[in-house]
Amino acid sequence: MMKYSGYKGKVLAINLTTKKTSSIEITDEFARKYLGGNGFAVRYIFDMVDPRMDAFDATNVVAMMTGPFQGINSPTAGKYYMATKSPLTNGYFDSVSGGFIGAQIKYAGYDGFLITGKADKPTYLFVEDGKVEFRPAEKLWGRLTGETQEMIKEEVGDPNLCVSAIGPAGENLVRYACVITEYRAAGRGGVGAVLGSKKLKAVAVRGSGTNEVADPEAYEAWMQWYKEEAKKVPGLAVGLPTYGTPALVASIGKMLGAMGSYNHKTEFFQNWENISGERLKKEFWDKDTACPACPIACSKVFSAKSGKWKGAISEGPEYETIYSLGSMCGIDDLGAIIKGDSLCDEWGMDTVSYGVAVSFIMEAYEKQLITRENTDGVEFKFGNDDAMIAYIEKTAKREGIGNLIAEGSLRAARVIGGGSERFAIQVKGLEIPGHSARALRGMSLGYATATRGGSHHDPRPTGEYAGASDRKAVEGKAAWVIGTQQMTTIGDSLVNCHFLERLLGFTLTQKWVDMINPVTGFGYTLEELTTVAERILDLERSFNVRTGIRRKDDTLPRRFLEEPIPEGPSQGMHTDEPTLNRMLDEFYVIKGWDPKTGIPTKEKLIRMGLEDVADRLAKEGISC
């Protein structure tokens, strides 16, 4: 029985090769040290996975985790967390998705699952109250994510069953294949491809238990505080509930001129109004949806009611998808973007990586580095919505040039050659989302140093948009970026919505501590919580340095380092190499990482309570 609350006290280890399961105890000390979700997963993956092996090796582990807030009706935690060694970046990678399955994992009696091995034939897992079944999935193999979920619900005879499933993209090892739960995606980094390599089509969970909080009265008071405060923040009270994240098209695309377009040849999309949140709401909106228990309901169902793509319907698109399938590909037809969004979900792949990889191919085609001969006769020009749509299925099936798109833009550039790596919009192999590395100084350093590479969920852009940190400043930016990375790490360990930052702070504050303590009973101080964040980030970095990642990899696409934004409100902005290097030097010093190599120092690891990690690095000859 644990002293702390919010935990079931055990994680289920599942071996698909042997079809055996075992239970791993979560001790009080472990929970306090690693908090949940992100912290639990990186500790297990660091211990269990050899970082040098291929991501598709049977020994890779997929962690499916919860934090202390799942299953307690929290308005911000209708989510679950997945992590693995990524086939796209080769490093540690995590992804948080909306879905009631997080609560069901708790109700089934676990804090999470650690899935390893490889099934000999297609399989799905059915976990119910401590009982695990390895069920045959031959008839599900090749199916889209929506029908897979429905077929499993029917087989089990429970229309409310929570199912997380991969699509054909995951089965065919598309390097950015995702996992879909209901209509939500654990989208980035290829977790779905790792499940596909294990022949695991889906995980279904239900339970009849509960999850408890340490101080119910204080927790209830916190929930009331949250609901009242959320009403006072315009973004949470009006912007997100009314338009969802597409509201950002006007603020980022028009006012800042910082929405990557035409594979980042520019960041000012002239036709921004055609793809704006306001137009989506007026002409395409059907209804609002939400992660379980969330009163903000930032998610929307949109459909095309007329035009070329009439009948297309999707939960989404989010801002990131409007950027990747829209402005990046030079497409301003919201019907096409809605169609592309739903197809990516159904075939099971990340919309950001797919769209940015397609925009890369479009520029390579424009530069005649590839021709119609390479594209099965398709004119891969910017603005060709038919090509963007048609190649979703072909990419999922790895047909024709879809086989190259399935590899992601960095690997595609290495095949195409001709200096194309310069305009592959990625960091460490992960395609960059719609938050500008050139117009936001913090994001330039943040993307360069993020565990996952081109991700806006490691560093966050929101504080720079809000003016909490001057988006043009260099001074003090390293400390700011470290603060946002600490905040997202705690958010991902709690497995909570990142929009909480607008209430609790863009970096860790006492408000974060005040949210955690009533649930867990830790009695954390802000100092201890910050140490937890740094411990988790150092573990992620230590995993990555064991894959060979060093300071040289903490960089940006050459286009961003050498070409300023050519037009619009942010014209002339970018971070050049000397400036990035200056910020990196400062970043490593504050982190306690060796500025020459980017490896965490032994002293820092010991200070974080990671003596064993320091020993492991030393044993492998990785020390500074």
CB of 293 to ligand SF4, least distance (A): 8
Quick one: 200 or 236, whose CB is closer to ligand SF4? 236
In terms of Cα–Cα distance, which of 93, 78, 101 is closest to 207? 101
CB of 291 to ligand SF4, least distance (A): 3
Q: How many residues does the chain have?
A: 624
Site for ligand SF4, residues 205 to 234, rule: CB under 6 A: none
Binder among 186, 296, 325, 364 for ligand SF4 (CB under 6 A): 296
- The reply on whether position 299 binds ligand SF4 by CB under 6 A is yes
Quick one: 8 or 184, whose CB is closer to ligand SF4? 184
Instruction: Give the amino acid at 103.
Output: A
Collapsing DSSP states into helix, strand and coil, what is residue 93? strand
In terms of Cα–Cα distance, which of 48, 193, 202 is closest to 133? 202
- The reply on whether position 291 binds ligand SF4 by CB under 6 A is yes
- The reply on whether position 100 binds ligand SF4 by CB under 6 A is no
Quick one: 141 or 243, whose CB is closer to ligand SF4? 243
- The reply on whether position 301 binds ligand SF4 by CB under 6 A is no
- Bridge pairing between strands 112-116 and 10-15: parallel
In terms of Cα–Cα distance, which of 397, 582, 396, 589 is closest to 474? 582
CB of 186 to ligand SF4, least distance (A): 13
Site for ligand SF4, residues 466 to 525, rule: CB under 6 A: 497, 499
- Contacting range for ligand SF4; rule: CB under 6 A; set: 206-214, 246-254, 296-304, 346-354: 296-304
- Contacting range for ligand SF4; rule: CB under 6 A; set: 185-193, 290-298, 302-310, 538-546: 290-298
Please tell me what DSSP assigns to residue 324. Answer: I
CB of 497 to ligand SF4, least distance (A): 3
- The reply on whether position 294 binds ligand SF4 by CB under 6 A is yes
- Spatial neighbors of 256 by CB under 8 A, at least 6 apart, are 436, 439, 465, 569, 570
CB of 101 to ligand SF4, least distance (A): 14
- The reply on whether position 163 binds ligand SF4 by CB under 6 A is no
Exposure string of 278-307, with b = 16+ CB inside 10 Å and e = fewer, is ebbbeebbeeebbbbebebebbbbbbbeee
Going through 268-342 in order, the beta strands assigned E by DSSP cover 285-289, 299-303, 313-315
- The reply on whether position 290 binds ligand SF4 by CB under 6 A is yes
CB of 416 to ligand SF4, least distance (A): 36
- The reply on whether position 298 binds ligand SF4 by CB under 6 A is yes
Exposure string of 53-62, with b = 16+ CB inside 10 Å and e = fewer, is eebbeeebbb
Binder among 67, 68, 98, 117 for ligand SF4 (CB under 6 A): 98
Report d(CA 485, CA 490) in Å as an integer.
9
Residue owning tokens 């209708």: 78
Quick one: 244 or 463, whose CB is closer to ligand SF4? 244
Quick one: 78 or 557, whose CB is closer to ligand SF4? 78
Quick one: 60 or 97, whose CB is closer to ligand SF4? 97
Q: 578: cis peptide before it, omega within 30°?
A: no
Question: How big is the CA angle at 204 (ends 200 and 205), to the nearest 5 degrees?
Answer: 135
Site for ligand SF4, residues 68 to 87, rule: CB under 6 A: 76, 78
**Torsion sign over Cα 82, 86, 88, 90:** positive
Site for ligand SF4, residues 239 to 278, rule: CB under 6 A: 240
- Contacting range for ligand SF4; rule: CB under 6 A; set: 66-74, 292-300, 555-563, 566-574: 292-300
CB of 247 to ligand SF4, least distance (A): 12
CB of 537 to ligand SF4, least distance (A): 23
Residue owning tokens 């090749």: 142
CB of 251 to ligand SF4, least distance (A): 17
- Contacting range for ligand SF4; rule: CB under 6 A; set: 35-43, 89-97, 293-301, 403-411: 293-301
Instruction: Give the amino acid at 208.
Output: S
CB of 73 to ligand SF4, least distance (A): 13
Question: Phi/psi zone of residue 116: left (φ > 0), alpha (ψ -120 to 50 degrees), beta?
Answer: beta
Question: How big is the CA angle at 554 (ends 551 and 557), to the nearest 5 degrees?
Answer: 140
- Spatial neighbors of 622 by CB under 8 A, at least 6 apart, are 545, 546, 599
Binding site for ligand SF4 (CB under 6 A): 76, 78, 98, 240, 290-291, 294, 296-299, 497, 499
